[in-house]
């Protein structure tokens, strides 16, 4: 749809004429002296503006070469008005097919389906909370990434409480639940723990792990199990596959510490 662009047109719409006699077109009748209807500029301008307003209202740009714009505009406006919101595009994106996607409430949870294939219920973040530690550990292969996720576990009690949900007879391939022990998960991840008495002023002192990691250590941590000192701190880092390096900057003699290490 496009405005009349004949060389005889003017840039500004002329003042509209008053209403005279609303009615219908006629070809006229000479026998009864009824004149044919004259198509005047005022009526043609009104029709043009009415149609262009529909095209513009649908967000389309008038085009002289596109004779489907009014149809496209009506369809777009009807769809938006009938739904009460702008529909979401289904398919058409990168690597997406034209399958029909269903999303609805089954009485207890949201459920998804593609064509005739039921994908089951959609999980909420709160549904995944019990598996947060297990899923977080599963994909890590670098010390930095694992350390970032485990940074919140700075006490033996906090770590043990979370691990208790995952380290069970059914979930480990081999284990030793001794004071200094380990658990090998079915995925190959190995969790180790133990105790060490670390003299004050110790720097990078090796402590043997209960077992050697077959491939590599990923992360090590340590905390005081005896009364924490008023100053100083203890620390640990992976040292190969069979030891960790520990340090104790606290004053006042030897400190009892719990250590933990993760590898595979």
Contact 235, 203 (CB under 8 A): no
pLDDT digits (tens, 9 = 90+) for 186-225: 888 999 999 888 888 888 889 999 999 999 999 998 888 7
Please count the other Cβ atoms lying within 10 Å of the Cβ belonging to residue 74.
14
Which pLDDT belongs to residue 140? 47
Q: What is the mean pLDDT of the chain?
A: 82
pLDDT digits (tens, 9 = 90+) for 147-192: 555 544 444 455 555 555 554 544 556 888 888 999 998 888 999 9
Contact 191, 167 (CB under 8 A): yes
> pTM for the full model?
0.38
Structure tokens at 258: 């719990």
> Cα(210)–Cα(262) distance, rounded to whole angstroms?
12
More confident residue, 195 or 131: 195
Contact 233, 240 (CB under 8 A): no
> Cα(39)–Cα(9) distance, rounded to whole angstroms?
15
- State the pLDDT confidence band at 130, using cuts at 50, 70 and 90: low
Residue burial 4-19, b: 16+ Cβ < 10 Å; e: rest:
eeeeeeeeeeeeeeee
Which pLDDT belongs to residue 89? 73
- Domain 139-263: state its class: mainly beta
Which pLDDT belongs to residue 156? 47
Length of the chain: 264
Helix (H) or strand (E) holding 52: helix 41-57
CA distances from 180 to 208, 216, 243 (A): 10, 19, 13
Contact 219, 141 (CB under 8 A): no
- State the pLDDT confidence band at 53, using cuts at 50, 70 and 90: very high
Domain ranges of the chain: 1-89, 139-263
Position 234 pLDDT exceeds 50: yes
């Amino acid at each position: 749809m496009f405005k009349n662009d004949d060389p005889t047109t003017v840039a500004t719409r002329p003042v509209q004429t008053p209403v005279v006699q609303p009615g219908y077109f006629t070809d006229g009748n000479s026998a009864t002296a009824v004149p044919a209807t004259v198509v005047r500029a005022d009526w043609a301008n009104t029709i043009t503006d009415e149609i262009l307003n529909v095209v513009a209202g649908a967000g389309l740009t008038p085009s002289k070469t596109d004779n489907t714009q009014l149809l496209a505009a009506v369809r777009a406006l009807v769809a938006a008005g009938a739904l009460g919101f702008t529909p979401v595009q289904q398919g058409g994106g990168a690597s997406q097919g034209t399958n029909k996607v269903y999303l609805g409430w089954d009485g207890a949870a949201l459920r998804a389906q593609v064509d005739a294939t039921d994908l089951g219920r959609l999980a909420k973040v709160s549904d995944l909370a019990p598996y947060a530690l297990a899923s977080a550990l599963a994909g890590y292969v670098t010390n930095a990434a694992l350390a970032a996720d485990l940074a919140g576990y700075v006490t033996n009690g906090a770590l043990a409480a979370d691990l208790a949900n995952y380290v069970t007879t059914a979930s480990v391939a081999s284990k030793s639940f001794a004071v200094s022990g380990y658990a090998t998960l079915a995925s190959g991840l190995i969790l180790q723990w133990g105790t060490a008495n670390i003299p004050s002023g110790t720097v990078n002192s090796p402590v043997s792990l209960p077992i050697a990691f077959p491939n590599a250590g990923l992360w090590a941590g340590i905390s005081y199990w005896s009364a924490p000192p008023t100053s100083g701190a203890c620390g640990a880092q992976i040292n190969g596959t069979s030891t960790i390096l520990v340090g104790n900057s606290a004053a006042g003699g030897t400190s009892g510490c719990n250590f933990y290490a993760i590898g595979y």
